[in-house]
Amino acid sequence: MIILSIDTSCDETAIAVTSERKVFANAIYSQVLIHKKWGGVVPSLAKRAHIERIDLVLDEALRKFKRNYMQPFKNMSQVWEKIDAIAVTQGPGLAVALEVGIAKAKELAVLHNKKLVAVNHLEGHMYSAFVQNKNGNPARPYQFPYLALIISGGHTSIVLWENHLKYQVLGETIDDAAGEALDKAGKLMGLGYPCGAVIEKLSKDIGNKDIYAFPRPMLKQKGLDFSFSGLKTSFYYHIKELGESEKNKHLHGLLSSFQEAVFDTIVKKTNRAILQTGIRRLCVGGGVIANVHLRNRFRKLVAKHDGSVLFPPYKYLTGDNAAMIGVAAHYRLMQNDVIKDVSLLDRIARMRL
Ligand code: KG4
Ligand code: ZN
């Protein structure tokens, strides 16, 4: 089954062509430069940029598919004949952004007479560790159950992943997401947006030292939920007390300590989830897991439990992309979970797992 998948949940216009777990084409237009100067994603600008770019991204994905697929195609109509279904992110995300992708998916499904599959964006992040290149690498057979972690700019969740499309959320953030907390702390220190990767670099420069021992939120409470907004407040008051010049002098130490507070909380909650469920196989997705230090923290954690951890095998799979949506859609399609009435599909901005 060949799937053309679309994700416009936030600030990337992304389209891919996949077959089971293999990616034959991946196209992405990032709006990050548009939103950078505003210090965060501006919904109206996101919507406009998605509308302006989606056809170009679609063209690029189709051209890549035509070039990469095993079989030679004479023309675009042959390419379209080969595609079995259109998949699209239904939520969660920015309503005005989701709408653009959904409208395009409906248009294509009707025009080319294809099945339409709706995917939860978080489900996509869960599948991101299993996405393969066009040659089927890495092989990585599934070995359910997993503890899946989604650590991104919009979400921080621990999920008990029992089997394909069968899962149960064990814990999630009750306020800010981990990536959002990093971005906000960076902003307070005068860094641009988003700044998770910059914080990673600054922290690495001083050996990821934890100098200030900021609070580890929610560790005293029972359960597996997260909360990062109090940590941000504590960081805010700390740098306010230091004053402008001291704050800048201690840029590395402050951000490294903040990053460590966020990561340590996530790793300790994951440790708790392993103890509670007895599941020692982790599978982690989302933009923040691009961070090498966090990957190493997870590797250390699973070594302690004689377990294992899977990360997205290619860098583009950590952030938002449509390849992961196509792979998740494959399993929906296998269960014949397709949209019965295309005209009725609508975005669910606060869609849950
Ligand atoms: O998954 P993603 O691209 O978008 C959402 O669905 O939210 O995640 C974006 C988040 C941002 O908060 C960004 O600062 C963070 O991922 N991020 C990182 C790194 N690269 C991106 N955080 C820590 N270390 C990184 N290397
Ligand atoms: Zn995402």
Query: Encoding tokens for residue 244?
Result: 């402008």
Rounded average pLDDT per 10-residue block, the chain, 353 residues: 97 97 98 90 95 98 96 94 98 98 98 98 98 97 98 97 97 97 96 95 98 92 94 96 92 98 98 98 98 98 98 97 98 97 97 94
Cα of 196 from ligand 1 centre, angstroms: 6
Q: Find out whether 54 and 30 touch, Cβ atoms under 8 Å.
A: no
Residue of the nearest CA to atom 4 in ligand 1? 153
**Ligand with the closest atom to the CA of 200:** 1
Instruction: Check residue 247 and give its pLDDT.
Output: 92
**Ligand with the closest atom to the CA of 35:** 1
Within 8 A by CB and 6+ apart from 47, the residues are 96, 97, 99, 100
**Ligand with the closest atom to the CA of 154:** 1
Cα of 343 from ligand 1 centre, angstroms: 34
Interatomic CA distance for residues 42 and 22, integer angstroms: 33
Question: What DSSP state is assigned to residue 195?
Answer: -
**Conformational region of residue 207, where left means phi above 0, alpha means psi within -120 to 50, and beta covers everything else:** left
User: Which residues surround ligand 1 with Cβ inside 6 Å?
Assistant: 10, 152-154, 179-180, 182-183, 194-197, 200, 286-288, 290-291, 319-320
Within 8 A by CB and 6+ apart from 91, the residues are 9, 98, 120, 121, 347, 348, 349, 350, 351
Cα of 258 from ligand 2 centre, angstroms: 22
Cα of 7 from ligand 2 centre, angstroms: 9
Q: Considering Cα of 156, then 127, then 196, then 220, what sign does the dihedral take?
A: positive
- Which of 29, 119, 182 most suits a substitution to test ligand 1, by most atoms within 8 Å of the C-beta? 182
- At 237 the three-state DSSP class reads helix
- At 185 the three-state DSSP class reads helix
HSE of 41 in the Cβ direction (CA atoms, 13 Å)? 22
Task: Pick the atom of ligand 1 nearest to 319's CA.
Answer: 3
- Nearest residue to 29 via CA among 61, 3, 1: 61
Cα of 154 from ligand 1 centre, angstroms: 9
Q: Find out whether 223 and 233 touch, Cβ atoms under 8 Å.
A: no
Cα of 102 from ligand 2 centre, angstroms: 16
Task: Pick the atom of ligand 1 nearest to 318's CA.
Answer: 1
Say which residue the tokens 């023309």 belong to.
Answer: 75
Cα of 288 from ligand 1 centre, angstroms: 4
Cα of 121 from ligand 2 centre, angstroms: 6
- Which of 176, 258, 259, 288 most suits a substitution to test ligand 1, by most atoms within 8 Å of the C-beta? 288
H helices of 71-147, in order, are: 76-82, 95-111, 121-127
**Ligand with the closest atom to the CA of 155:** 1
- Provide the pairing of β-strand 156-163 with 308-310: unpaired
Ligand 2 is an ion; its neighbours by CB within 5 Å are: 152, 320
- pTM value is 0.97
